[in-house]
Amino acid sequence: MSLVITLKANDGIIIAGDSRGTIGDPRGLTAISDVHRKIFRLSSHVGVGVVGAAELGSALLDQMETRLSSANCIYLDDVLQKFRADIRTTFNEWFQQFPIDKRQGVLFALGGYRLAGEQREPMIYMLASQSDFAPHLFTKGSCMLGVPQYATYLANRFYDPQMSCKEAAALAVYLISETASQDPKVGGPIKVATIMTDTGYRELEDAEVADLLKRNERQNQRLKRFFFQGRRP
């Protein structure tokens, strides 16, 4: 399983994901591997996170950025149209001999900017193999795929669309690390990308993510002291 978080901030978009893959029935004995890549660059202003069958998702995304670049797809409207067409065609070609309920499942969260006149508007879409990759528009500023229960609860408490990208990145890391502390289907190194109007798509360095984890732990300890000792954090 996986957890991919997409958040809109007041100055950009955050896409973050864990790196855990599980093998076996999650109701019984499973094996884990923490080497799976979940977030990808599609263009200078669009990124994607993938959950579900990890290897299948990676195969569907293989060379996608190159194909989008060749078609001059930069902003979300053009990227979404070609992305859906290519993914859908390939997926249906590979699985045409299987009934729908026997096909492997894969879900994508696309975050990026679309052109609205002279303005660039941040948008988040979800596309799932179960619904023939029809675009689902997320209007509340967040999209969580994979194992979203804990993250959804925490986001309802802490997410604010007026957050900066830096703050939203810290929150996305927090949502993933807290989920991993409760559910072993999520875990491994966390990867984070920011998409901003001026700098475009950028993946954070491992050291930057480590700093966010340390920051979050300090905040957790402050909250614990507040309840344990009755102090203000």
pLDDT in tens, 151-194: 999 999 999 999 999 999 999 999 999 999 999 899 999 999 99
Q: How far apart are CA 80 and CA 74, in angstroms?
A: 10
The full set of domains in the chain, from first to last, is 3-205 (3.60.20.10)
Inter-axis angle of helices 165-182 and 206-229, to 10 degrees? 70
Q: Is the dihedral of CA 57, 138, 194, 217 positive or negative?
A: negative
Under the banding of pLDDT at 50, 70 and 90, the label for residue 231 is low
| CA–CA separation, 155 and 158 (whole Å) | 5
Phi-psi region of 90 (alpha: psi -120 to 50; beta: other; left: phi over 0): alpha
Torsion of CA 55, 59, 61, 66, to 10 degrees: 140
The alpha-helical segments, DSSP class H, found in 105-162 are 149-158
Contacts with 205 (C-beta within 8 Å, 6 or more apart), sequence order: none
Amino acid 33: pLDDT: 82
* Phi then psi dihedrals of residue 230, to 5 deg: 75, 20
Report residue 117's pLDDT band, with 50, 70 and 90 as the boundaries.
confident
User: CA–CA separation, 148 vs 195, rounded Å?
Assistant: 22
Tokens of 90: 């390939």
Q: Is 0.85 surpassed by the pTM of this model?
A: yes
Burial level of 205, CB count in 10 A (0-12/13-18/19+)?
Answer: exposed
- Residue indicated by tokens 């109701």: 27
Q: What is the mean pLDDT of residues 216-233?
A: 81
Summarize pLDDT for 55-114 with one digit per residue, the tens. Answer: 899 999 999 999 999 999 999 999 999 999 999 999 999 998 888 778 889 999 999 999
Closest to 173 measured CA to CA, from 3, 23, 59, 54: 3
